[in-house]
Amino acid sequence: IFIRFFRFLDLWYLCYEQSLSDKTLVMWFEFVESICEDFLYSDFDEELKLKIIKIARTCFCEQTQNCEFELPLSVIKAVLEKALADNDIRYEGKIGIRFQSWKNTFIEDAKVLIIMGLSEGEFPGNDTKNDLDIFKNKLPQLNQSKRASDKNLMLTALTSNLDKLVLTYIGYEQSTNEIIPASTVVEDLVTYLKQKTNDVFAIQHHFMHGFNQHYFSKEQQSYILNNFKLAKKYYQKSPIDKNTDIRIDKTLETVISIHQLSEFFSNPLDFFIENVAELQLKIYSNELKSTETYQPDKLEEWKLKSHIFQHDIEIAKKTGLLADSPLSHNYYNKFSKELYSLSEKYQQTEIHSQDIELNFEEFKLYGVVHLNDKNQLVDFKTGKAKGKYIIKHWISYLCYQPESESYLYFEDKIVKFNPIQNAPELLSIILEKWRLIHQQPWLFHPAAMVNVRTNDIALATEIAYYNSLKGNERFPATEGQRYFLQQLLDYDYQSDVEEYIKPLLESIELVDYSEVIDATV
C-alpha cells in the first residue's frame, strides 16, 4: 500500500503541474483512471472497477470543462485527507502532514485546502529544531499552538520538500466573494516560500462557484459544490447549438448499485471517498431499481446506534453519538431503555441485515444496511421528506423514462410519481436549464421551490424562496446577500415554475401508509 500511495502522490503532482502549463484535461483523465486502478479500487472485482472507472472518467471530463482546477483540487484534497488519515498508512512523522490535527489550529486563519510535502526519508522527530522564524511575533493561532509536533511536521514539509509542495489558498470575502489579502501568517509563509524558490513558487486563488444560503452559514464550509453535483453526467463535451435540444444518454442502465443510490448525479469518485469509504465488498452485490428509494424511519436509525453502542461508550463518543461529558452516561442509559420497545417493533418487520464498517479518520464506525421485504434499501440516513430528495428522485425517474409509477419512501410519508408522457422533452428542458445556469446557480434552485409540508406538497412562495437572503432585524443581510437577492428579484423565475416546477407537482401525490403497494413496484 505504501508503493501505491507514493505512486499516487507522484501522479497527482505531475497532473497538477501539467494542468497549470497547458490547461489540458487529458492528464486528469489518466489521473482518475490511475486512482481507480491503482489506489482506491484494488480490492474490487474487475467488472465493478471498470464500471466505476468509466463513470469517473466521464464525470471528470464534463465537470471540468467550465470549472478548470476547482473540482480536481477539491477531489485531490479529499483523497489526500482520506489517505493520510487512514489508520493503515498514517503514522506521525513518517508520511505527511497530519491534516486532522493541525488544520483545526490553522485553517480558520489560513483557509488552506491543500498543503502537502513529502521527503524521501522520514520527517525529523519532535526534538528536531525547525525554522519557526516566519511565525515569530505573528498571529497566535499557530504560534501558540500546543501541537508542536504538528507545526514541526508542517514546517519540515515546507522547508525541505519544496519540489513536491502544492499550496492552494482560497482568499475571499464571505459576503461579497471578492478577493481579500491573506492573513499575516499566510503572507509571510508565501513570501518565505518564494524566497526559498527564487520566486518560482506561486499561490493559486480559487473563486467560489456561487452563492446560496449555505454559503452564509458558519457551520458550512464556504467552498462547496452542492449546486453542481446534480445532472453533471449530462453536461455536453462540446458547446451545444442553441437550436438543438440537449442530448440525453438513451443507454442508461436500469439499475444502480447501493453505494450510488443516495446520490444519483454525484461525482462517483468524490462520493466514494467521502461517504462510502471502505464498505465491505459484498454490499455491492445488491442492486436496486433506480425508481425505488427508501428513507429510513427512527427504528432503523436506532438500529445503527445500537451497533455502535455495542462496542463501547468510547466508540459512541468518537462517532459523535455521545458528547464527551458526564451527561453522555445518562443518554447511554436512556438509550438502553428505549431500545427495548423499539426492538420489539423491529422484530415484527421482515428486514434483511448486512453489517458494514466505515473508516472515518481515527476511528471506525460500525453500522447496518437493511433491505426490506421489497428488496428496497433502508439506509442509515434519517430525515423528513425534503424538496431536494424529491427533486433528485424525480429527475432520476425522468432519466430512465419509465412507463410505470415510482415511489419515494420517507420517514413521515410516501410520495408517488405518476408516469409522464413527455418525459424526454421535460428532462431536456431541465438539463439544458441546468447547463446554461452553471455559472449562476443561485438563479436556479428548484429544491428550494418545492416545499413539502405536513399534509400536502405545494409550491413554496416567493417569500419563502428568498427568505434565506433577506436577513432580519437581528441578523441584517450582508452586502453579498443583498446583491444576490437583487439578482433573484431581477430574474424571471416564473418561467422555471411553468416549465419545471408545475409539471413536477402535477406528477406527484402522497400515498397513505395504510395503502397496500404492489411488491413489483
SS (H, E, C) 230-281: CCHHHCCCCCCCCCCCCCCCCCCCCEEEHHHHCCCCCCHHHHHHHHHCCCCH
- Residue 480, phi-psi category: left (phi > 0), alpha (psi -120 to 50), beta (remainder): alpha
Q: Can you give the pTM of this predicted structure?
A: 0.34
Nearest to 142 by CA among 171, 183, 185, 101: 185
Cβ–Cβ under 8 Å, residues 470 and 464: no
Number of H helices and E strands in the chain, helices first, is: 20, 13
Rounded Cα distance, 469 and 212, in Å: 8
Which pLDDT score is estimated for 387?
Answer: 75
* pLDDT score recorded for residue 412: 59
- The pLDDT score that the predictor gives to residue 393 is 74
Cell numbers at 506, concatenated? 402535477
- Cell numbers 449546486: residue: 227
The DSSP call for residue 349 is S
Q: Which residue in 434, 439, 438, 426 sits closest to 503, CA to CA? A: 426
**CB burial of residue 31 (10 Å; 0-12, 13-18, 19+):** buried
Answer for the pair 443, 491: CB distance below 8 angstroms, yes or no. Answer: yes
d(CA 448, CA 462): 10
- What does DSSP say about strands 377-378 and 363-372: parallel, antiparallel, or unpaired? antiparallel
For the beta carbon of residue 165, count every other beta carbon within 10 angstroms. 20
DSSP assignment letter at 486: H
Joined grid coordinates for residue 497: 415554475
Q: Which residue has the cell 489579502?
A: 181
With vertex at residue 377, the alpha carbon angle to CA 372 and CA 383, rounded to the nearest 5 degrees, is 105
Q: Residue 470: its pLDDT value, please?
A: 72
CA atoms within 13 A on the CB side of 503: 21
CB 130 within 8 A of CB 124: yes
Residue with cell 409540508: 453
Closest CA to 267 of 226, 238, 209, 208: 226
Q: Tens of pLDDT along the chain (521 residues)? A: 556 556 655 655 665 555 555 444 455 555 555 555 554 444 455 665 555 555 544 544 444 333 333 333 344 334 334 433 433 322 222 222 222 223 333 333 332 322 322 222 223 233 323 323 333 333 333 333 333 444 444 444 444 444 444 443 434 444 555 555 544 445 555 666 666 666 665 554 433 333 333 333 333 332 233 322 322 332 223 343 444 333 333 233 333 332 333 332 233 333 333 333 232 222 222 333 333 344 444 444 555 555 555 556 666 665 555 655 666 666 666 655 555 454 554 555 565 554 444 443 333 333 344 445 544 434 333 346 777 777 777 776 776 666 778 777 665 567 788 888 887 778 777 766 665 554 455 566 677 677 766 566 777 666 666 666 677 777 676 655 666 677 777 777 778 778 888 888 888 887 764 443 333 22
3 state DSSP class of 503: helix
Q: Are 300 and 378 in contact (CB under 8 A)?
A: yes
Q: How far is CA 231 from CA 9, 115, 181, 491, in A?
A: 30, 31, 35, 22
Residue with cell 504538528: 150
Tell me the C-alpha distance between 257 and 48, whole Å. Answer: 10
Give the C-alpha separation, 427 to 412, whole Å.
Answer: 28
**d(C-alpha 325, C-alpha 107), whole Å:** 26
Q: What is the DSSP string of 2-26?
A: HHHHHHHHHHHHHHHHHHHHH--SH
Look up residue 192 and give its three cell numbers.
Answer: 518565505
Strands 351-360 and 292-294: unpaired
Cβ atoms 87, 109 nearer than 8 A: no
